[in-house]
Amino acid sequence: MAYNEEYLKDDNLNINWYPGHMKKTKELVQNNLKLVDLVIELIDARIPLSSRNPDIDRLVGDKSRILLLNKSDLVKKKDIDFWIEYYKSQGLKVIPINSMTGEGINKVVNECKAQTKDLMDSYIEKGRIARAIRLMIVGVPNVGKSSIINKLSGRKSTQTGDRPGVTKGKQWVKIRGDMELLDTPGILWPKFEDQEVALNLAFTRAIKDEILDVETLGLRLIERLIEIAPEDLMDRYKLNHLSDNPLDVMEEIGRKRGFILSGRELDYTRIAQTVLNEFREGKIGKICLEKVK
């Protein structure tokens, strides 16, 4: 069905998603934090602000932490460098990684050992037997936690998938460097005060497509790309020019790709899903959706 003007005036998807397992995960983090020496927080380089769950700061408190900027291969180097400095200025150690290829994993192992060296040395000084370094990994759904654990352990030890919610419960995994890591399911927060944050999470599939209006989500992504990555959008879809109206651009993409139903009506669902998938796969370009306001 074609869009109408009234439908397009609804700027928000009013995204809210907080299933029961999110509450259980929050409790899991709280109850097990005392067992670990260091927290690894994994965020998405494409949305380095929106993929940081504000509950994590409250839950982790003063516990030592490393921030991993995953999917760094999907973002331009200048943006990666900016976010490293941004979080460094907040006192956080940041390491860019690619959990699919393993790039940056050795740096993660070395940093974990460096940050826990004093603690491990104290065990030896007290005459106690040295034990494994205990880590906890946290992050929003679909940020790549299972993939990085597989790279750290050197084997396929946890189930992975390109969809949120694959990790279901607590798992302790032995990893390289005499360390043990507590995996936790992805955790979102109860209410999105900022719908732009909600959209960013939906664009990167931290929120399941199945609970969203995919056509509107695709339209909103096109609207964002017109603003921040117009050349990438034009190059990918062979567009001669960009209209200020995202619906016009969406329809032109549909015509260029031949996404037409019987009766010459455009297949808006297919257009939207294609743009979303190709953004997520990095085919439109190396794009960071956020900058500091």
The answer to whether residue 157 scores a pLDDT higher than 90 is: no
CA distance 116 to 172: 19
Predicted TM-score (pTM) of the model is 0.84
Where along the chain do its domains lie? 20-183, 213-280
CB-CB contact of 195 with 247 (8 Å): no
Q: Which two tokens stand for residue 25?
A: 């995960």
The answer to whether residue 185 scores a pLDDT higher than 80 is: no
pLDDT the model gives residue 206: 87
The CATH number that domain 20-183 falls under is 3.40.50.300
- Structure confidence at residue 16 as a pLDDT band (50, 70, 90): low
pLDDT the model gives residue 8: 40
CA distance 182 to 163: 20
Quick: pLDDT tens for 238-256: 999 999 999 999 999 999 9
Quick: pLDDT tens for 94-113: 999 999 999 999 999 999 99
CA distance 229 to 287: 7
CB-CB contact of 100 with 70 (8 Å): no
The answer to whether residue 7 scores a pLDDT higher than 80 is: no
- Structure confidence at residue 6 as a pLDDT band (50, 70, 90): very low
Contacts of 37 (CB under 8 A, 6+ apart): 64, 116, 119, 133, 134, 135
The CATH number that domain 213-280 falls under is 1.10.1580.10
CA distance 279 to 59: 32
Q: Which two tokens stand for residue 221?
A: 């992504």
3-state secondary structure of 48: coil
pLDDT the model gives residue 161: 41
